[in-house]
Structure 1
């Protein structure tokens, strides 16, 4: 529980730093009512609220555990498997980052969606494959077409010509 409290505090500090970074984005006369700093500030607020919620939740859980311990019950710590599952998710994310320049965004995001679903207990089915394909197309359209974020195409364009 203490690690979640530390994480929440660090994320809250990061959200404040992120806010000041967003506030430092130069203002433009061409910007409308919401400037270039609008979205980063909204993200900083969301991160701050979620971090504060995590802190409050953990403080309440620590207090409940202390009350339980004082009542004579022995409070148990988190099993190591919880940390190993979290580490597994980090490994999946790291594999995504390593593969995306080579395989391209669409294929890698589909593999990421499949890997995360299977890692979290979903059985590999045709429906899961459809989910990964539709999800990768959705994220490609969202980021590359709508938001105009250039993402790696991988080796596919060289194969096609």
Structure 2
């Protein structure tokens, strides 16, 4: 069975379990129409969507592989598949770094660092595009969450009073 299909099924189960626990979030008297569970519900739905897309891609790839008449051995593909666990651990470490730095550096700086770190980790060319995308992406996420949705993000110890 394809690893992506299994991973998608596991992610779908996690999304279902996460969604089932959302009802335990207490509603505040200060809640708006979205409520305290609005963002977690959105995240659970996005995780489920990603899982379904991942499973569909795995099924379509397996179907296409069966239809192929000649199997050609590509050593580069084997190396990429063998490196999937270390690659996932690297991404996990980048995410952990984000979580550790967030209270100190704040949301905007951490999101910019996260975008840049993942882009470079995934092999993006070291050019002006990476910091531009990181700064633009962080600014866009800040504008969406803080200004548009009114969800205040941590400013961080170093930037108290800015960007709020």
- Taking structure 1 as the reference length, what is the TM-score of the superposition? 0.66
Per the TM alignment, residue 97 of structure 1 is displaced from its structure 2 partner at its CA by 1.4
Aligned counterpart in structure 1 of residue 110 of structure 2, from 99, 103, 108: 108
From the CA coordinates, give the structure whose radius of gyration is larger: 1
Q: Which runs of 5+ in 2 are unaligned?
A: none
Structure 1 unmatched runs, 5+? none
Output aligned runs, 1:1-161, within 5 Å.
Answer: 2-22=2-22, 40-41=40-41, 43-62=43-62, 65=65, 73=71, 78-79=78-79, 80-145=82-147, 146-157=149-160
Does the C-alpha gap of structure 1 residues 67 and 128 become closer, same or farther in structure 2, counting only changes over 3 Å? Answer: closer
Distance 1:27 1:149, change over 3 A: closer
Rate the CA distance shift 1:36–1:82 in 2: closer, same or farther, 3 A: closer
CA contact (8 A) 1:89 1:116 kept: yes
Please say if residues 107 and 153 of structure 2, whose CA atoms lie closer than 8 Å, have aligned partners that are also in contact: no
Residues 23/83 of structure 1: CA separation in 2 closer, same or farther (3 Å cut): same
Do the aligned partners of 1:12 and 1:48 also contact (CA within 8 Å) in 2? yes
**Inter-CA distance 131–157: structure 2 relative to 1 (3 Å threshold):** same
